[in-house]
Amino acid sequence: MKVRTVLQLSAGLIAVVILAIPGQYGQTGQVAAQTPAQQEEKTMTVDDNPFIKAHEDIVICDSPGRRHRAFPTGVRLPNGDLLVGYRVARDHWMTADDGFYVTRSSDSGKTWQTPVCVAALPGWGVNGVIGQYPDGVMPPDETRLRAALQLYRWVGEMPADGPWRENPVYWTFSEDYGDTWSKMVKVHDTIQEVETDRGREKFWGLWLHSNESTVHRLSDGRLMGLFVGRRDLMCYNPSSPYPGPSDVALVGFSSDNGLTWTFRTIADSAQGGIGYSESDSVRLSNGRFVAVYGNNAGSPYFFETHSDDEGQTWSPMRQLDFRGDSPSMVRLSSDRMLAAIRHMPEGGKPGIGLVVSPDGGDTWHNLGNVVDQSMWDMGYPDLVRLADGRILCLYYTASEKQPIPKELEEELAAREPVATIFKGGIRPAAFGEIQSEIRGVFLEELE
């Protein structure tokens, strides 16, 4: 069954895809060594592959409002509920008025409760990430649900060459599965000096960079997660290109459930010229951790690395043959792996892409898009395994403009003036034009 497109729907959607995996391997092979004819022979698609099958789409939230809803994050709780969080704002990281909301389903996604705001602070934007457990499932022995809150605001005048993003990070915790949340606890400030395997190092915006990046519980009880640290401040100037890559891929370890961390370097942009960025990781049955990185400064392609000693050492980064950002991964049967990505193919349609590894990360099949999109501002899928074995893939859709009459535009501008980092020089595209929803598509596991 082909998943119907949602591009005719309102812009700025957040959606869900539910996936399923069969019990057999597909064809494998090192793509780099194949001839064009061999590549064509082994091409699989979302509609024609032995791994997954797509089904109906659903509405998670259709509340009104001209807002940019993005960066979804989900978790299946021990009581069976699904909790989905997402950021709501005027635009894409320009106006610091974001709030972090959650909605809940108690019937496997058939119905959803009215969204509730978890965090919103005057003068700040707030983005949140719930849980980050393997496969998106909160273990029953975890005593409290965690959520990371990433705050931001722009410091300085715009437009100019110097303004930068202030970006502290906090934890908040819930002991009733997300009904109520604790006061925020700061983890890292915008500029933070931390302990690494190379001594004390200073980073900007140090955190589990991607909404989908899994935090694992190691054999000794510590937490392990993939982090990104920048050596320079993030400036926002639409008239100038970003400086060269300064990102450092790190693995973090915590002995106090995430309140403090120490780090080891996985890859440094100073060594390879690539700033590895958004990531996720899976633990295989033999204990190996496999990680993939996208949205990398200096390369449009994904990269893979793995560790066989619980994160102490990692293999050299290896370039894969698919392009894009924001991966989310789950482990399938027989150590196969599924990744959902913001797919940005060269010369093709962007969209919510799916890639599968049948052999623990050695080879990968790019299945293409489960949903096509029209621009880069979309995606950030997050995979959550359901109790019946299906997989829920959260994502948000492209922020396509819905033109409105000039008279209404003038009325909105007078009634709802916008203060952005551009001081009125550029009105955010989201203002008065984006009506968004949260939606979803179910995919079924093939037998």
- The pLDDT, as a whole number, for residue 93 is 77
- The pLDDT, as a whole number, for residue 217 is 96
Copy the structure tokens of residue 16: 């869900």
Q: Write the CB contacts of 273 (distance below 8 Å, at least 6 apart in sequence).
A: 245, 298
- The pLDDT, as a whole number, for residue 95 is 75
- The pLDDT, as a whole number, for residue 80 is 95
For the chain, what are the domain ranges?
A: 14-445
- The pLDDT, as a whole number, for residue 441 is 75
- The pLDDT, as a whole number, for residue 103 is 94
Intervals of the chain under pLDDT 50: 1-13, 20-41, 158-160, 237-242, 418-432
- What CATH number has the domain spanning 14-445? 2.120.10.10
Reported pTM = 0.85
Provide φ and ψ at 143, rounded to 5°: -80, -20
